[in-house]
Amino acid sequence: MESELKDLNSKPAKIQQPDTTHDDTSSKDDRPLLKADSSSTAAAAAAANIHELEKKFAAYVRNDVYGTMGRGELPLKEKIMLGISLVTLLSLRIVFGMSLVVVYYLICRICTMFSAPNQEEEEEGYAHLGGWRRAVIVRSGRFLSRSLLFVVGFYWITETHKDSANTKENSKTEGTHQLEEQERPGAIVSNHVSYLDILYHMSSSFPSFVAKRSVAKIPLVGLISKCLGCVYVQRESKSSDFKGVAGVVTDRVREAHHNGSAPMMLLFPGTTTNGDYLLSFKTGAFLAGAPVVPVILKYPYQRFSPAWDSITGVRHVVFLLCQFVNHMEVTHLPTYYPSQQEKDDPKLYANNVRRLMATEGNLIMSDIGLAEKRIYHAALNAAINPGS
């Protein structure tokens, strides 16, 4: 990838530096989102100067007509359109959407009958199933995921596949090219804009991904996540044999790289943004040194942004379902084959892939994360609900 990285150096990606004054909040990562703490200095600062916080936390700022946290004053035309959608579209989409989820749950239930799930602490699931069971789970899952996106209003999805001709070094021999082309990627790395990202990737490649342990216990969704082969985050585990998420992800990436029947891992860079920014990747997807497939998702909008940044989940779902049409653009970059230097240095590998994605997707790189997002959410709550 040396020639490609030289090209990237000639047009460096845009970078937003993190605000280091809030590093002491990293220990609060387990606090729930969107709950303001009256004693929080961040909330007080937000009430005093919300515009200054928006500059610091630009990756999470909403820019659509619905305003901050989806609570802005709407134009009369938008109010009328929203009212019509609430009466006509919302209930229909909820019914059809839930029907698709129930149908897929029943398919997963039938396919996993009389089969024991993986019992490893972080990998309880049915990704190991083979034969007709796995084929039915994957094919029906891809079809129903795309159907659910259609129900939500994504009638057309624009997909672009970039040519791989320019991603390999000119100095490599023909034999090396052929060897690379035979190598199967171990992971998909994607920017993270919304929960809708998962539905798209399910419809496209049906990968496994990292999820909270609590997801496995959610009715309907829990079994579906197990059939996807999710790796569950269990932060409270203190056992001596706890491998950690990074170790499990590395094993799964390596397995997918060498085993064509194993599902690839899908890795996102931290939390969701407003779609204009790309956060830092953790090194878990890159420790195995396997090739990865970079994918860039964008959600063009005129009224409501599908990005799940600084808005509550219920409010976001309601407004999303009330949009007559939603749009999605997907760019599939060529498989990224790491150099030996990148294999030896996973952090370098992750940073180079991130730079490539930022350049190709015209995204701004930002090193802020979940802790800063929680500060911003608390500040918004304090500003909007000063008496709470």
Whole-number Å distance between alpha carbons of 39 and 41:
6
Can you tell me the mean pLDDT for 53-68?
87
- Residue-level pLDDT at 89: 94
- Examine residue 172 and state whether it is found in any structural domain, yes or no: no
More confidently predicted of 121 and 171:
121
Structure tokens given for 344: 């030896």
The pTM for the full model equals: 0.81
More confidently predicted of 311 and 172:
311
Q: What is the DSSP letter of 122?
A: T
- Examine residue 368 and state whether it is found in any structural domain, yes or no: yes
Structure tokens given for 228: 């996807």
- Residue-level pLDDT at 18: 52
User: Per-residue confidence at 247, pLDDT binned at 50, 70, 90?
Assistant: confident
Q: Which structural domain range is residue 212 located in?
A: 62-160+184-384
CA–CA distances in Å: residue 212 to residues 45, 52, 188, 245: 31, 33, 19, 11
- Examine residue 243 and state whether it is found in any structural domain, yes or no: yes
User: Per-residue confidence at 172, pLDDT binned at 50, 70, 90?
Assistant: very low
- Examine residue 108 and state whether it is found in any structural domain, yes or no: yes
- Examine residue 5 and state whether it is found in any structural domain, yes or no: no
Size of the chain, expressed as the number of residues it contains: 388
Quote the number of domains for the chain: 1
Q: Lowest mean pLDDT: which of 130-139, 150-159, 169-178, 279-288?
A: 169-178
Residue-wise pLDDT for 35-56, tens only, equals: 545 444 544 544 456 777 788 8
Q: What is the DSSP letter of 74?
A: P
Which of helix, strand or coil describes residue 281?
coil
Can you tell me the mean pLDDT for 326-333?
96
Asked if residue 373 has pLDDT above 50, the reply is yes
Asked if residue 301 has pLDDT above 50, the reply is yes
User: Per-residue confidence at 60, pLDDT binned at 50, 70, 90?
Assistant: very high
- Examine residue 281 and state whether it is found in any structural domain, yes or no: yes
Residue-wise pLDDT for 2-19, tens only, equals: 455 555 555 556 666 555
- Examine residue 229 and state whether it is found in any structural domain, yes or no: yes
At position 196, the amino acid (one-letter code) is L
Q: Given strand 231-233, what is the order of strands in its sheet? A: 157-161, 328-332, 292-298, 187-190, 265-267, 208-212, 231-233
More confidently predicted of 371 and 136:
136
Residue-wise pLDDT for 249-268, tens only, equals: 888 899 999 988 888 999 99
Q: What percent of the chain has pLDDT over 90?
A: 47
- Residue-level pLDDT at 92: 96
Nearest of 313, 92, 283, 282 to residue 194 by alpha carbon: 313
Strands 328-332 and 292-298, by their bridges, are antiparallel
Asked if residue 25 has pLDDT above 60, the reply is no
Structure tokens given for 262: 């194993």
- Examine residue 137 and state whether it is found in any structural domain, yes or no: yes
Whole-number Å distance between alpha carbons of 177 and 168:
8
Structure tokens given for 341: 């230097």
Asked if residue 197 has pLDDT above 50, the reply is yes
